[in-house]
Chain A
Amino acid sequence: MARTRRAKILEHEYVPEHRVLSMEEAVELLRRLGVKPWQLPKISVNDPVAKALRAKPGDIIEIVRRSPTGGRAVYYRFVTAYGKA
């Protein structure tokens, strides 16, 4: 029951596309931006989307949003262990 509910939020129209980056992609992203992981915006592991993706602290989630100015806007968030459960 719980599992089916989790899977569904990613399909919702108002939830932009989320994806956990692979290790190689993550390293490449950090190298490209020249930042340490914690300099990225954060997302809690307890965030419903992070749960649905089964993301672990230390993962980087890629979010592709539709933007009124940019059309397609790519954001990244670093998964942290903190935040309200």
Chain B
Amino acid sequence: MPTTSRVPSFKEADVIEKIVFGVLNPNEVRMLAKVTVVRGELYEADGTPVTGGLRDPHFGAIEPGERCPVCGNTREMCPGHFGKIELPKPVFIPHYTDYLYKLLQATCRVCGRITLPEEKIRRYREIYRRLRAKWPQLAKVFSERVIAEAAQATSCPHCGNPQYKIIYVKPFHFYERRGSEGDVRLSPEDVLERVSRTQSEIEILGFHPERARPEWMITRVLIVPPLSVRPSITLETGLRSEDDLTHALAEIVRQAEKLRNIMVTNAPQTMIEDNAYVLQELVAGYIDNELPGARRLTHRRKRLLKTLAQRLKGKEGRLRGNLSGKRVNFSARTVISPDPNISINEVGVPVEIAKTLVVPMKVTPYNIEEARRYVINGPDRWPGAVYVYKASEGRKYNLKYANREELAKSLQPGDVVERHLINGDIVLFNRQPSLHRMSIMGHIVRVMPGKTFRLNLLVCPPYNADFDGDEMNLHVPQLEEAMAEARELMLVEKHILTPRYGGPIIGGRQDYVSGGYILTVKTSFYTRDEVSQILAATGYDGELPEPAVLKPGPYWTGKQIASLFFPDDLIFKGKSKTNAGDLSCPDEFCFHDSYIVVRHGRLLEGVLDKKAIGAEEPGNILHMIALEYGSDAARRLLDSLYRAFIRILELRGLTMSIHDIDLPEKARRQVEDLIVKYKERVYELYRQYEEGRLEPIPGRTLEETLEIRIMDTLDELRKEVQSIAANYLDPYNDVFIMARTGARGSEVNISQMAAMLGQQSVRGKRITRGFRNRPLPHFKPNDIEPEAWGFIKGSFREGLSPAEVFFHAAAGREGLVDTAVKTSQSGYMQRRLINALQDLFVYYDGTVRDSWGNVVQFKYGEDGVDPMRTYHGKAVDVDRLIERARALRAKSGKTA
């Protein structure tokens, strides 16, 4: 092997101690290069690479079986080797020109010293060094100030020569403003010569004297990366297609050759300069093909070449695309669908996926029989195994091809079986966008038939998932440590409470809420048969309590059933969601059953609706159980009682028909009368306006005032209509139950269905846009009828007129646009916040610090409290403590 010169700073090391960034030294390039590229062609006529071309074998072995002529390795071991291109004239390296400009401004054109008095240089150097040690950011600002000051000098304080103003025209032109002589261009050679004269004092200007010499920013030699960095691809047609970098480099080699020829034939100076500039542009394009002001390198006049800077930059670039966002193995993705019968911490995994994902299982004397069964089952029969690693032989067997019976027999402790995913394994389950930590939680595997991931409906809120085609990702931890961590920290029940505000984020929605209400209303009594049905769904296996009613037969109340699942000493007091309007009462003396009281784990009063069992309802029963009885108790409640809510709906049914929103004739007449009455008020406002009697609202014009008054009037109308609808509809029809309990819909929605849609608005105003002086040609210009401006007196039940449909669609569109705009904006804001805050850390002393140890907060959140362990923000809830102590005493008094 030929001896190769080694550059000490580039030696291989086992351990990377530190990484030093600096400007590449051209001499280092010359030492490092294993080959000098002199020819622009890539292949000879016979298809072999040209020696001294860009595909020279000295760039490193890349074909299978090829031996590297430099290091003697095959492509698996050859690291690839650098080459170089010698340029006939020096060129600027793009992006460094800004620094050269600063340097030229601040140093003498003759002696190279900073154009400041000796004394000042000394002092500034001292200040700069001290700043650098403590506040690198400030050191940069300081450098800028020094440069600005030195650039003012008209003559050099050291050699006395006059100084001229330097003009820099992007990207590669420097001029010197020599007064009467005019502007004189400085060629790269001129600049190189000047900056070479500078001394180590330029560290004040921000140049590291050893690692970032200014003369290295202009180069006569270009480094050429190994072939592995710019691999060529062979198309199906057999044609070779080279990497963009190779194309860019080939152009440089050809231009360098052309320039060299011109220079030896003593061609006119302008021709040399022009060709040197072409070379300059090619080199710039090779490094960054998006430099403003420079020519773009293209593929046959069309596609832009993707050169070095383009490889790194942007979302798909090396940094954001490959380093921050890597793709992973041991993961799966498919559509999700609901399964209310699995636990909230489980995930249903399709057999097909379970057979693809593997977990390494170390064979021990305790599991060797199990391991053998997996090996015998092989890769296609679940639960089986895909690979076996035999420790004694130090090799891996693929069970697709091996003799599985024999391998199973020879299995020994210490071997590793890569088995299928089985029930009970821990996996990470994720839905994008991952906006908070509950977006990735640990689930226990449950292998099932089918092709979708199954999840319990109660975990939809934290993932913000629904089943209209959502897909989710699943990751399998491979190490014992990772699995233990996932089980202890990431399991679903550890995330019932959110760290954002300390309330429960997991909980019932929709049917769970209406089910909870229906189960526990005062009017519901259940026979032994029904109770058995309900309890069967929950998995309850204790004794039935005494029935609450004995005559005419044994009946149990829904409250009794719910109480079976509460911890024995649970206490709870609070208003339910139905505690509103006519059904409101401030305390437990409540005739509407809308104030919840739980004592000694028994639901004595009140219905379980959204406020008691719902998701994202701080201070509900689930919250108290999670805080005071632990996450496991909370999970058990979600896995048992909540199923009863669903079962009761299955038994009773919950549905709606058009008759649920039928208003009696009397009510409809009332609504019509109201509409007439309020429209009259609107006309009156117009009259006042025309007669100049309308009093303007401060800060508004008369027209604005009129508009606002009209809208207020119509809004009042809507409110009155709403209360009529609410009064006349049966509060126990299913739609109304859903609205009152918070399961779905509101009184507004119901009144819109039953009675009247009301005013439609776009941007908070009545709908005015469309035609001149009217939104639609169905109306007179400047109509005073509210109907002409988006007021809809029809209801969904009665149906909408064409104009009404249009107004409704216009208002509906606004909502869609808002969500589209908001998600992109808040997404970007979130990204910036995460990037800024990601490495802040709460230390054991309660301070918040960044990764450098700088203090950000002297006490986390200024109170040192973990919101996840609070009663909705308060570290201690004194009232609740007293209540609990009382309950405890009452109980012990009874037993004693």
A interface residues with partner B (beta carbon < 8 Å) = 33, 35, 38-41, 67, 69-71, 73-76, 82
Say whether B600 faces chain A, with CB atoms less than 8 Å apart.
no
B704-739 contact mask (Cβ, 8 Å, vs A): 1 or 0: 000000000000000000000000000000000000
Nearest-Cβ distance from residue A58 to partner chain B, whole angstroms? 12
* Consensus secondary structure, chain B interface: loop
In angstroms, Cα B855 to Cα A33, docked, is 9
Q: Does B467 contact A (CB under 8 A)?
A: no
Residue contact B863 to A69, C-beta cutoff 8 Å: yes
Contacts of A73 in B (CB 8 A): 858-859, 862-863
Pair B862/A35 contact, Cβ less than 8 Å = no
**Nearest Cβ in chain A — how far from B435, in angstroms?**
23
Given A41-B855, A67-B863, A82-B138 contact (CB < 8 Å): yes
- What CA separation (Å) do A69 and B856 show in the bound complex? 17
Q: Are B863 and A70 in contact (CB under 8 A)?
A: yes
* CB within 8 Å for A33 and B845 given contacts A39-B854, A41-B855, A69-B862: yes
- Bound-state Cα–Cα, A42 to B217, Å: 37
| Residue B51 interfacial (CB < 8 Å) | no
Chain A residue contacts of B862, Cβ below 8 A: 67, 69-70, 73
Chain A contacts of B123 at CB under 8 A?
A: none
Which residues of A are found within 8 Å of B135, using beta-carbon distances? 38, 82
Contact between chains at A70 and B861 (CB < 8 Å): yes
Report the separation of the CA atoms of residues A74 and B852 in the bound assembly, to the nearest whole angstrom: 22
Query: Which A residues are in CB contact (< 8 Å) with B240?
Result: none
- Taking the complex as formed, is B865 at the interface, i.e. its CB lies under 8 A from any CB of chain A? yes
Closest to A38 in B: B134
Contacts of A76 in B (CB 8 A): 855, 858
Q: How far is the CB of B160 from chain A (nearest CB, A)?
A: 35
B856 / chain A contacts, CB cutoff of 8 Å: 41
Q: Tell whether B847 is near chain A: CB-to-CB under 8 Å.
A: yes
Q: Are A33 and B847 in contact (CB under 8 A)?
A: yes
Asked if B65 is at the interface of the complex by the 8 Å CB criterion, the answer is no
Chain A residue with the shortest CB-CB distance to B141: A82
Q: Does B893 touch A at the CB level, under 8 Å?
A: no
A40 to B854 alpha-carbon distance, docked (Å) = 6
Q: How many angstroms from the CA of A70 to the CA of B862 in the assembled complex?
A: 5
Q: How distant is the Cα of A84 from the Cα of B777 in the complex, in angstroms?
A: 62
What separation, in Å, do the CA atoms of A35 and B858 have in the docked complex?
Answer: 12
* In the bound complex, CA of A33 to CA of B847 (Å): 8
Residues of B participating in the A interface, judged by any CB pair closer than 8 Å: 134-135, 138, 141, 845, 847, 849, 852-856, 858-859, 861-865, 873
What is the distance, in angstroms, from A16's C-beta to the closest C-beta of chain B? Answer: 12
**CA A74 to CA B856, docked complex, whole Å:** 12
Q: Which 10 A-B pairs have the closest CB atoms?
A: A70-B862, A70-B863, A73-B862, A67-B862, A39-B854, A69-B863, A69-B862, A38-B134, A69-B861, A39-B853
Chain B residues with Cβ under 8 A from A39's Cβ?
A: 849, 852-855
Do A35 and B138 have beta carbons less than 8 Å apart?
no
Please give, as numbers and ranges, the residues of chain A lying within 8 Å of B863 by CB-CB distance: 67, 69-71, 73
* Secondary structure call for the A interface: mixed
Inter-chain contacts of A82 with B (CB < 8 A) = 135, 138, 141
Having A67-B863, A69-B863, A75-B858, one finds 5 other A-B pairs with CB under 8 Å, namely A35-B854, A40-B855, A74-B859, A82-B138, A82-B141
Q: Which residues of A contact B858 (CB under 8 A)?
A: 33, 73-76
The smallest C-beta distance from A83 to any residue of chain B, in angstroms, reads 10
Q: How far is the CB of A70 from chain B (nearest CB, A)?
A: 3
A71 to B862, CA, bound (A): 8
Q: List 29 A-B contacts (CB under 8 A).
A: A33-B847, A33-B855, A35-B853, A35-B854, A35-B855, A38-B135, A39-B849, A39-B852, A39-B853, A40-B854, A40-B855, A41-B854, A41-B856, A69-B861, A69-B862, A69-B873, A70-B861, A70-B863, A70-B864, A73-B858, A73-B859, A73-B862, A74-B859, A75-B858, A76-B855, A76-B858, A82-B135, A82-B138, A82-B141
Residue on B nearest A83 in the bound complex, by CB: B138
Residue of chain B at shortest CB distance from A81: B138
A74 to B861 CA separation, bound complex (whole angstroms): 12
Given A33-B845, A33-B847, A38-B134, A70 and B859 contact (CB-CB distance below 8 Å): yes
Docked Cα-Cα span, A41 to B847, in Å, equals 13
Interchain CA distance A39-B853 in the complex, whole Å: 7
- Cβ contacts under 8 Å, A74 to chain B: 858-859
Nearest chain A CB to B826 CB, angstrom units: 24
Min Cβ gap B54→A in Å is 51
CA distance A76 to B863 in the complex (A): 16
B131 to A, closest residue via Cβ = A82
Residues of B within 8 A of A33 (CB): 845, 847, 855, 858
* Chain B min CB distance to A32 (Å): 8
Residues of A within 8 A of B141 (CB): 82
A82 vs B127: C-alpha distance when bound (angstroms): 13
Q: How far is the CA of A8 from the CA of B858 in the complex (A)?
A: 28
Chain B residues, CB < 8 A from A69: 861-863, 865, 873
Distance between Cα atoms of A67 and B858 in the complex (Å)? 13
Q: How far is the CA of A41 from the CA of B845 in the complex (A)?
A: 17
Chain A residue with the shortest CB-CB distance to B853: A39
Whole-angstrom distance between the Cβ of B114 and the nearest chain A Cβ: 22
Query: How distant is A79 from chain B, measured CB to nearest CB, in Å?
Result: 14
Give the chain A neighbours of B873 by CB distance below 8 A: 69
Chain A residue contacts of B859, Cβ below 8 A: 70, 73-74
Compute how far the CA of A12 lies from the CA of B873 in the bound complex, rounded to whole angstroms.
30
> Which chain B residues lie closer than 8 Å to A41 at the CB level?
854-856
Chain B nearest CB from A60 CB (Å) reads 12
